Amino acid sequence: MRPTMDEIVNDTLSLYEDPAKVRHREDLGGAAFIAHGWYSATRDWARGALLMEKAGLARSAAPLRRSMIEHALALAWLADAHEDVLASLRMAEQEHLKKLDEAMEGGGWSVPPGLIDDLLDPPATGSPENTNLHIKHLTQRLGQPNVLVAWLHETATCHATLSSASRYVSTWPGEEAKGLAMGEAAESGSDQITLLLLLASDGFNNFLVGAPWTDELAGLERLFAEAVRSGKR
């Protein structure tokens, strides 16, 4: 009997139910700790998106699915070039802190003197991977153009756009807006969430000593493909 999509998700989540059962690689300069955080977050988003779907709120889970896309890609990226990626992440974090500092200026925010300056010293210079901080470049680097399409679709409904409104509006009163929105798209269901969780698990497996999940993930991916073909959810 073929497993349902829920069973595949549960089996994938169970791989890291107890992080103490696996050993994280210590030869990656701290990258394994970042990967642990990213993968743990992705597992939480998968759970949340599936709960929302079961509650009839699959459309509203777009921000969770978008975050899963970003982190599944990032795990593969970090595994491929951990030193350069970490350098680029440090630079991006400092750029964010600078923007935060500027935004808080004169706004009555209470920040300990010198806190942000300390975090910006020494300045991070990044790496040749800097351009891949942008998801368009990252999907190109990883050869995943279809993932960019999925990300753009989810992003369009995460912000105040015509597409986010079109999910709840059947007719447009004004000609200026008519026809501009993407309209009602097929709901992203458990298939996409399961696929993203499997992709993230593949990436995270590289940060574990001996890549212990390789065979089990290969089996889960075969079961996933069979479930999609059979339409068993």
The pLDDT tens digits for 107-157 are 777 777 678 888 888 989 999 999 999 999 999 999 999 999 999 999 999
Q: Compare 103 and 210 and report the one with higher pLDDT.
A: 210
The CA distance from 205 to 44, in Å, is 17
Amino acid 132 reads N
The CA distance from 208 to 177, in Å, is 51
Q: In the chain, how many domains are there?
A: 2
The CA distance from 168 to 220, in Å, is 36
Which residues have CB under 8 Å from 153's CB, separation 6+? 182, 185
Regarding whether 64 and 169 lie in a shared domain, the answer is: yes
Identify any residues that bridge with 208 across adjacent strands, giving them in sequence order. Answer: 24
**pLDDT-wise least confident of 34-43, 94-103, 158-167:** 158-167
The CA distance from 227 to 220, in Å, is 10
Regarding whether 182 and 110 lie in a shared domain, the answer is: no
Regarding whether 206 and 99 lie in a shared domain, the answer is: no
Regarding whether 161 and 62 lie in a shared domain, the answer is: yes
Residue-wise pLDDT tens digits, 77-120:
999 999 999 999 999 999 998 888 888 887 777 777 678 888 88
The CA distance from 94 to 117, in Å, is 10
- The overall average pLDDT reported for the chain is 89
The domain in which residue 115 lies consists of 87-128
